[in-house]
Structures are given as structure tokens and as C-alpha cells.
């Protein structure tokens, strides 16, 4: 019988892609290119997006490219970053134009200074028009095709008159983009309480929800001033170890569970997730003891019904043997 051999389709010049961070919000996207190889150094690139020409940073230049092709597939990259973030795009969003030159970097710095002035003037226009919005920052696209103003507001704002004034002032396309407090921190954040640059600025690309349950599970202080970040919301770092805590917690018995130890019977009064210790209060005793999980046996009457059935089945199997 002949076997069908699956041949992996060869990459063509037209479907080579590089992963690039671009825009003031550090958006991530795929860009087509036809370069034979990608330099293994930190290098800036000029790319073409729907917004115009932009400067960006190539992702994974040291080890992620082979013959100009990103080693991981789009599906593998998507699985790594996971869905659910506005600043993450797994579609081809544009094309690579060229590697950035010293003149390009100089022009970028010049545009950043211009954007600061544009943001100040926009704030003045907002004040004159008495609009209920706060201008956070402006971004002048590298190719000069448009200016983007990032703003915060409690609800929807009719800024049509503002856009007309700005377009007339700068003679270019104007875009208004409403953001939240976490995006504001991503744009303006500085150094956090840990002494490091804000994570959302330095490396986080997906700002996933963080809740008080995570702080409680990790037994962090519940003082809002100590567990809140630059944005005023719960620190993103509370999420870093959450999965590990949840996995370790599965092995521990719940509070008030009846258990048996080498010292007798008792009940669980507390558990320590990281050390996998169980604090037990033995019957008739007042002293509490912290014991390793492996020295604890949950009393059968306190087990879930499914586990009881499994134990009974195992016992019958043993008797029949």
C-alpha cells in the first residue's frame, strides 16, 4: 500500500512576514517583506500601514527569523499572546518599506516635539469649545498623513467641531481616539513602586483584567493605595502568578475540611498555597499545627461524591483480587 507523503508548502518571497511593534500605542502586527534575511540586531524599520508611513521595532530579531521568515507560524504567535486585546493584530496590516536610517530616527524625534505642541494647542481648543474631555497625548504619523489625538472622557463626546478646527489648523487628516486609564498609563507612565518602568510600557502587550480575587489568593495587602498602579487600577503584576496559585490551590483541602494526621483527627483552619502547608486544629486540642500536604488525609465523609465513588470502586477492585 502506497503512503501519501505530506509535503510542507514552500515559502515564497511574497509571503515572508516580519512581526513589528509600531505606533504610539505599541501595536503589534504582521508586515510582508521580500528581504533575503533579517539582521540579528535591534533595528528600526519603516512600514506602510493604513494610517501611512510609520516607524516600528522588529520583534525577535536575535533568534526568530530564518532566511527572512519568522520561525513561528501565525497560529503559534496567536496562541502565545492569546486573544482579547485591541492593540494586537494577527492579520497582515501592511508592508515593510525599508530599514530606518539615521535621518528617519532624527525625523521621528522632530515629530515627537511637534506632537507635544499639537497636544497643547488641542487642549486650548477643547477649553475654548468647553468639551468634557481630557487630551492625553498627540501622535504625528511619521509620513505626515495624519495626527492622532488620544483623549479620555466619561462618555461619548461630540468633537466634530474640534476636528474641523484642528484640520483647518494643521491642514492634514485628524483622528480622535478615546482611551481608558490603563492606556493613559501606557502612554504617560513612568516608574512604578517596584522601581521598574511600568510593565504596560516596557513589555506588556495585552492588558488583561485583574481582580481582587487574585490579590486575596496571593495574600497581598488589600490596601488600594498599595495594590493599585499608575493608572489607579489593580497592578498588572498581580496576574503574573495567578495561574500558578490556582494550580497549587487545587491540591489543598478547603477550610473546615475534616482530616486525619499522624496526631489524630482534626479540621483544616488555614492553608498556605506556595509552601503547600495545611494548618490543622486537632480534636480536643487547642494548639494548631502546620503540616505538609502529603501528611494530610481527608476523611472520606468529607470527600466530594465523585471521589467517594472512586475510592469505593478501588476498594472493591482490591477485594476481588
The tally of domains found in the chain comes to 4
Query: Which pLDDT score is estimated for 162?
Result: 95
| Residue that terminates a domain, selected from 48, 80, 100 | 100
Quickly count: other Cβ atoms within 10 Å of residue 97's Cβ. Answer: 15
Domain boundary among 201, 219, 245: 245
> How much is the pLDDT for 56?
92
What would the pLDDT profile of 178-197 be if each residue is shown by its tens digit? 998 888 888 887 788 888 88
Find the largest Cα–Cα distance for the chain.
90
Q: Is residue 88 part of a domain?
A: yes
The answer to whether 266 and 280 are in contact (CB under 8 A) is yes
Task: Identify the domain containing residue 136 by its residue range.
Answer: 105-179
281 domain residue, yes or no: yes
List C-alpha distances in Å: 298 to 146, 250, 258, 259, 294. 66, 14, 6, 4, 11
Give the closest residue to 44 by CA, choosing from 101, 94, 88. 101
pTM of the model: 0.67
Distance CA 21, CA 210 (A): 24
Distance CA 276, CA 288 (A): 16
Return the pLDDT at 122: 96
Residues 194, 130: Cα–Cα separation, whole Å:
39
- Ranges of H-type helices in 44-159: 74-81, 102-129
Query: Last residue of a domain, which of 145, 179, 213?
Result: 179
Low-confidence ranges of the chain (pLDDT < 50): 1-13, 83-87, 307-309, 311-321
Same structural domain, 27 and 71: yes
Say what the pLDDT of residue 302 is: 56
Amino acid at each position: 500500500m502506497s503512503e501519501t507523503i505530506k509535503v510542507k508548502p514552500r515559502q515564497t518571497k511574497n509571503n515572508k512576514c516580519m512581526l513589528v511593534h509600531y505606533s504610539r500605542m505599541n501595536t503589534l502586527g504582521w508586515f510582508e517583506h521580500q528581504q533575503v534575511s533579517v539582521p540579528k540586531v535591534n533595528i528600526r524599520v519603516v512600514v506602510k500601514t493604513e494610517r501611512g508611513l510609520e516607524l516600528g521595532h522588529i520583534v525577535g530579531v536575535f533568534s526568530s527569523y530564518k532566511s527572512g521568515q519568522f520561525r513561528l507560524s501565525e497560529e503559534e504567535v496567536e496562541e502565545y499572546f492569546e486573544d482579547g486585546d485591541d492593540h494586537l493584530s494577527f492579520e497582515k496590516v501592511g508592508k515593510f518599506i525599508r530599514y530606518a536610517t539615521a535621518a528617519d530616527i532624527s525625523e521621528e524625534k522632530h515629530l515627537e516635539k511637534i506632537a507635544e505642541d499639537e497636544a497643547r494647542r488641542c487642549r486650548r481648543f477643547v477649553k475654548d469649545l468647553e468639551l468634557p474631555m481630557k487630551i492625553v497625548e498627540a501622535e504625528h504619523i511619521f509620513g505626515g498623513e495624519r495626527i492622532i489625538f488620544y483623549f479620555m472622557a466619561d462618555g461619548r463626546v461630540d468633537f466634530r467641531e474640534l476636528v474641523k478646527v484642528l484640520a483647518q489648523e494643521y491642514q492634514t487628516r485628524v483622528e480622535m481616539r478615546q482611551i481608558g486609564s490603563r492606556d493613559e498609563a501606557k502612554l504617560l507612565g513612568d516608574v512604578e513602586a517596584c522601581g521598574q518602568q511600568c510593565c504596560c510600557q516596557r513589555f506588556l502587550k495585552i492588558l488583561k483584567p485583574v481582580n481582587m480575587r487574585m490579590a486575596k489568593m496571593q495574600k497581598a495587602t488589600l490596601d488600594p493605595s498599595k495594590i493599585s498602579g499608575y493608572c489607579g487600577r489593580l497592578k498588572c503584576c498581580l496576574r503574573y502568578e495567578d495561574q500558578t496559585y490556582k494550580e497549587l490551590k487545587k491540591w489543598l483541602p478547603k477550610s473546615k475540611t475534616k482530616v486525619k494526621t499522624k496526631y489524630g483527627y482534626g479540621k483544616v483552619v488555614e492553608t498556605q498555597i506556595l509552601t503547600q502547608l495545611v494548618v490543622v486544629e486537632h480534636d480536643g486540642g487547642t494548639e494548631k499545627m502546620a503540616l505538609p500536604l502529603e501528611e494530610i488525609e481527608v476523611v472520606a465523609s468529607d470527600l466530594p461524591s465523585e471521589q467517594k465513588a472512586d475510592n469505593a470502586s478501588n476498594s472493591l477492585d482490591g477485594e476481588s483480587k
